[in-house]
Amino acid sequence: MDLQLTDKRALVTGSTAGIGLAIATSLAREGAAVTVNGRTQKRVDDAVARIAAEAPGARVTGVAADLVTPEGTQAVLAALPEADILVNNLGIFEPKPFAEITDDDWRLFLEVNVLTGARLSRAYLPGMRRRNWGRVVFISSESGINIPVEMIHYGVTKTAQLALARGLAETTAGTAVTVNVLAVRKRPPSPPASPGRRRRP
């Protein structure tokens, strides 16, 4: 299948494993110049090597940066000042009773699951509009519609992603720039006996 992505510049956040890595690999196979992102250099290097092995001839680079921090965001924007495709995949989840979800938990979930995507969209959308071509995709979840009782804070952030994507899509009306949400149907796996916060790498 030719999706006509040759030479398109793509950034996939949280893409050193799982859904993000699969998306980055698929984009590379379609000819896009892909930038993968994770928090550690080793994981980024491993992901780059894996994509290169699975997609011979792929143009793939990586940036190790924590997008929750201003420094991490700036590092990604310095490495990739313009993008034609932005996949906001970075996210965290954590099963926790509602009464135990602290203000700090709420702030962290909103920062990681919502604000990282908002920041990068704000940075890249002007260039997409100027070139009159672009794709912004948010990796959300069915939990944004059917809020899981064991992860209400997670579900709220997924709902926020739906609203953010819808609003941004309205701003690109009449252009060849699209903003969409991919709602993953499967919920995150059940936690181990001593649960800890799970984060896409």
86 lies in some domain: yes
Confidence class for position 156, pLDDT limits 50, 70, 90? very high
98 lies in some domain: yes
Q: Which amino acid is at 168?
A: L
154 is catalytic: yes
180 lies in some domain: yes
pLDDT value of position 3: 74
Total number of domains in the chain: 1
4 lies in some domain: no
Active-site hit among 77, 108, 154, 165: 154
d(CA 63, CA 119): 17
Q: Where in the sequence is the domain holding 38, given as residue range(s)?
A: 9-187
- List the CATH number of the domain containing 111: 3.40.50.720
d(CA 123, CA 120): 5
182 lies in some domain: yes
Using one digit for the tens of pLDDT, what is the confidence trace for 2-44?
678 898 999 999 999 999 999 999 999 999 999 999 999 999 9
Q: Whole-model pTM?
A: 0.90
